[in-house]
């Protein structure tokens, strides 16, 4: 019997589940899993997870902790712990997006999250701290990596952001394929398929740059709109994929082929970019898509954090 697209993909790329719904993860057997505020908020509102949320709030209140910020940290970590029971690898847990421009507060929050995992017996090599790829986020990543705390740089839409992360020694980056496509669809009033997809092109460029210049930072394509995008990125280090597209690939038995590899990367005509803070800020500003999608992403994640806070406040005071 022929293999499914999902099975074929796993032979060349590490598959990561992009969800907070840990009960749905097991059937796709991913190695890692990623979460973000939107996914945790969505899961927290589902009946299946109300007992977990209630338990976190109840335990926190019994321990005299009614501060919503502390309860939120506990909730994020409890979701992560539940996910780690069903994946053999790593889980990504995100720092509050409202801290995306605050170096000190982001660093403190990242250390808090790691300490909560370690108190629950989880070693730091199984955790990736997610940070928005602002200049401040990159600076936090550099410090954390030196402390042995690994980072997943998210809301990444451009080569300049990717180069900054590589220079900082970030463990992993998550370029957002689908959101790049969304911007170009709206801007140019047309659709894109296959290799023409600008989100796909962005990941290929970043992958080739990393491999050509020998950066060990892992590339994990994220935010997919369709399985066609995924098929164009076979061979990427990792791809994080939502349950809907994982299901589609499990039911698809068409053949796929490797599209990205180190040999092609080394043959590319990319030139090395020197990055410092002024260059980063200027080149990011020169890219209207990356600038707009980074700002929009931080706003959306921040709004979802506020909604999650409101949910927890109501439970704490009940």
CA angle 238, 217, 172 (to 5 degrees): 55
Cβ contacts of 183 within 8 Å, gap of 6 or more: 289, 292, 293
Q: Report the alpha-carbon distance of residue 247 to residue 294 in Å, rounded.
A: 29
* DSSP three-state, residue 237: coil
Helix (H) or strand (E) holding 50: helix 50-62
- Look at phi and psi of residue 200 and say left if phi exceeds 0, alpha if psi is from -120 to 50, else beta: alpha
Q: How far apart are CA 157 and CA 101, in angstroms?
A: 17
Marked catalytic residue, from 65, 109, 119, 130: 130
**Is the separation of the CB atoms in 84 and 91 below 8 Å?**
yes
Give the β-pairing of 151-156 and 127-132.
Answer: parallel
Distance CA 215, CA 166 (A): 6
Residue 11 is given by DSSP the state: T
Number of Cβ atoms within 10 Å of the Cβ of 92: 25
Q: How many helices (H) and strands (E) would you count in the chain?
A: 14, 8
For this structure, is 130 an active site residue? Answer: yes
C-alpha–C-alpha distance, residues 154 and 131, integer Å: 6
Q: Which residues are catalytic?
A: 130
């Amino acid at each position: 019997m022929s293999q499914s697209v999902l099975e074929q993909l796993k032979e060349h790329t590490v598959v990561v589940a992009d969800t907070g719904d840990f009960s749905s993860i097991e059937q796709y057997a991913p190695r890692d899993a990623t979460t973000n505020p939107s996914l945790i908020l969505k899961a927290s509102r589902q009946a299946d997870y109300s007992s977990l949320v209630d338990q976190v709030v109840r335990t926190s209140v019994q321990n005299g902790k009614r501060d919503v910020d502390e309860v939120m940290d506990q909730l994020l970590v409890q979701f992560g712990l539940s996910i780690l029971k069903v994946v053999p690898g790593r889980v990504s847990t995100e720092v509050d997006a409202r801290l995306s421009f605050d170096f000190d507060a982001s660093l403190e929050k990242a250390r808090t999250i790691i300490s909560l995992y370690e108190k629950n017996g989880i070693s730091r090599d199984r955790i990736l701290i997610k940070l928005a790829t602002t200049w401040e986020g990159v600076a936090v990543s550099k410090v954390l990596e030196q402390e042995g705390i690994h980072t997943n740089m998210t809301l990444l839409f451009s080569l300049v952001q990717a180069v900054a992360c590589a220079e900082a020694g970030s463990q992993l980056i998550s370029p957002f394929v689908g959101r790049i496509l969304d911007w170009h669809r709206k801007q140019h009033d047309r659709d894109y398929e296959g290799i023409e997809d600008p989100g796909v092109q962005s990941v290929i460029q970043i992958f080739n740059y990393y491999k050509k210049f020998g950066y060990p930072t892992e590339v994990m394509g994220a935010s997919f709109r369709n399985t066609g995008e995924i098929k164009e990125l076979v061979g990427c280090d990792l791809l994080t994929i939502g349950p809907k597209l994982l299901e589609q690939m499990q039911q698809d038995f068409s053949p796929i082929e490797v599209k990205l590899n180190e040999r092609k990367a080394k043959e590319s005509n990319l030139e090395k970019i020197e990055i410092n803070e002024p260059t980063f800020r200027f080149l990011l500003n020169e890219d209207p898509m990356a600038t707009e999608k980074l700002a929009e992403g931080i706003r959306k994640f921040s709004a979802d954090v506020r909604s999650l806070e409101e949910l927890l406040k109501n439970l704490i005071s009940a």
